[in-house]
Chain A
Amino acid sequence: MQFGAEPNEFSWIINLAFFAFIMIFSLYGQKIQMWQWLKQIEMGLIELKKMAVESRQTAIDTFKAYGRDVEFIAKEIDRWSDFFTIMPVDLDPSGVLERIDHLFEQRSDRFKEFVAELAPEATDSEKLSLENTLEVAQVLGLIFRIVRHFYILGKKTGSTIIVMQVQMQMPELLRLAKAYHGAIDAFAQGKPIGDTIGPLIVTKFAREYGATPDSYVQEVTREVGYYKIDVDRRTVYVVRATGPGGTVGKPGFAIKKLVDEHKEKVTRIITIDAALKLEGERMGRVAEGTGAAIGDIGPEKHAIEQTATEQGIGIEAIVIKENEEVAVGVMDKRVLDAVPEVIERIKSAIQNRTKEGDYVILAGIGNTIGVGL
């Protein structure tokens, strides 16, 4: 068969179809593409909405056990879901970290006040976990509302660039939302999450050297305390947030405070934290390096670096690699299995890089939900 070689009675159909095809795709190709993208965003939105609604429901169900009726809780949670924090001006960067810290302190106060109002019968530890539950529900609601905004805006204006951007970011957004959606169950029930590995490791380390829940010194800074232990004739301050309620506290400022107290006696700061693993890396892989492993927005990390630099203190970090799903979801066995290895590395760090009589600060960074003192 050869096209056009010998024209016959049907060839006009083929020609017509061919030209129609070219016309449709050159004139409406973009429209078809847009339609396809919008459909894909729609599918994602349905899923995001489902997760947002479910997490709101979980939050309501969790709160209702603490002495308020469901209607009141639902109304208040909806009111709260819009709570925002305005980041400070960074055009004039001087003192921006203090301002950030101040704002986040305020935010945290408001959260506490709100949780206390919604769950008057909860214990302090439960209140902390409730705060986390609320935060997750809020994040999921926010993701849904932002994506919906761009979807409607893109549809309304027919702007390719808006629709394209959302469509391209959708898989990443869905992955993030799924991770948080998985986390809400952990927070609501007080299960340890992947991020708790830092505090867990330092606590187990401290226990090996005789620390007990009673020897924990509460509140060096808000919600953070320490165990003071003796490791091979070095004095080690093991810093972690209180537990087993879910809180991250401000370990960075606690470290600074301890250094300020003991000045030149402190010769080493070791931070233990969970870190995001690269795709293809093994879950629960342990890595070490230099610097402060702490994932705050800036003030705490700055405080550690500043104080370490001023006093000439060695600063090192050991991280345990995990993905987002595990970091905010229930603790994974493979991550937990990394505990002995990290403890060994801490011991060798203390033995090899500090002298007898030195003061060492060992900080477990991360949420402490489900990890006892």
Chain B
Amino acid sequence: MGALSKIIGLAIAAAGAFLLWWGLTPEMEGLSLILFFLGIILMSIGSSILFSGKSRSEKEEEPEPPTVTELQCQNPNCDFKEIRDFEKGDYILKEMEQRCPKCEGTMMIEGIYIVRKEEEKPEF
């Protein structure tokens, strides 16, 4: 849909520009004004089709990234970490019943978060 409407818009705008130019040629005399306005109207229709993308709010509506739960082994000599989907009942600093598969240490929820898309870097 997007690409097609862009092409149609471009074609209409180009046709308008052509009419405009044609109306400006000296041979057209009486018709020149008509062609002139027709050209301008076509160009504005074409460009409005060309630049009418989706509104910004529609674009922003991407589904939210999933919430993840980060588990970490509490053994200071072990750096085992597990990241899985959030489950109801999870909370940060909750001690889990499951044991660390590496060292049998206790596991705790270190964080629950989502990774949002980075905002555009400011120009300044």
Contact = CB atoms under 8 A, between A and B. Distances in A.
Q: Do A and B come from one complex?
A: yes
Interface of A: 1, 3, 8-11, 13-14, 17, 47, 174, 182, 185, 189-192, 196, 200, 203-204, 207, 243-244, 279-280, 283, 326, 330-336, 370-373
Contacts of B94: 244, 372
Interface stretch (B5-13, B43-51, B115-123): B115-123
**Nearest 4 pairs of A and B residues by beta carbon:** A244-B91, A372-B93, A280-B122, A331-B113
B36 interface: yes
B15 interface: no
Given A280-B122, A283-B119, A333-B115, A203 B37 contact: no
B30 A8 contact: yes
A372 B94 CA distance: 6
A1 B23 contact: yes
Interface string B92-123: 11100000000000000101111110010010
Given A244-B94, A370-B91, A9 B111 contact: no
14 contacts: A8-B33, A10-B31, A13-B33, A185-B64, A191-B67, A204-B93, A207-B93, A279-B122, A280-B122, A330-B114, A332-B115, A333-B111, A370-B91, A373-B93
A332 to B, nearest CB: 6
B80 interface: no
A8 B29 contact: yes
A1 B91 contact: no
B73 to A, nearest CB: 15
B122 A9 contact: no
Given A10-B30, A370-B91, A47 B113 contact: no
Contacts of A11: 33
Given A189-B88, A190-B88, A207-B93, A14 B57 contact: no
A89 B85 CA distance: 49
Contacts, number: 88
Contact of A10 (B34, B109, B111): B34
Given A9-B30, A11-B33, A371 B111 contact: no
Interface of B: 23-24, 29-34, 36-37, 57, 64, 67, 86, 88-94, 109, 111-116, 119, 122, 124
Contacts of B124: 280
Given A189-B88, A373-B93, A332 B67 contact: no
B81 to A, nearest CB: 14
A18 to B, nearest CB: 10
A70 B69 CA distance: 31
Contact of A331 (B29, B89, B111, B122): B111
A207 B93 CA distance: 10
Given A182-B64, A336-B111, A14 B92 contact: no
Nearest to A326: B116
Contacts of B114: 330-333
Contacts of A333: 111, 113-116
A174 B36 CA distance: 43
Given A47-B57, A370-B90, A371-B92, 8 more contacts: A1-B32, A189-B88, A190-B88, A192-B92, A331-B114, A332-B116, A336-B111, A371-B93
Contact of A243 (B29, B89, B91): B91
Nearest to B89: A190
Nearest to B93: A372
Interface centre among B31, B92, B116 (most CB of A within 10 A): B92
B67 A14 contact: no
Contact of B91 (A192, A204, A207): A192
A126 to B, nearest CB: 10
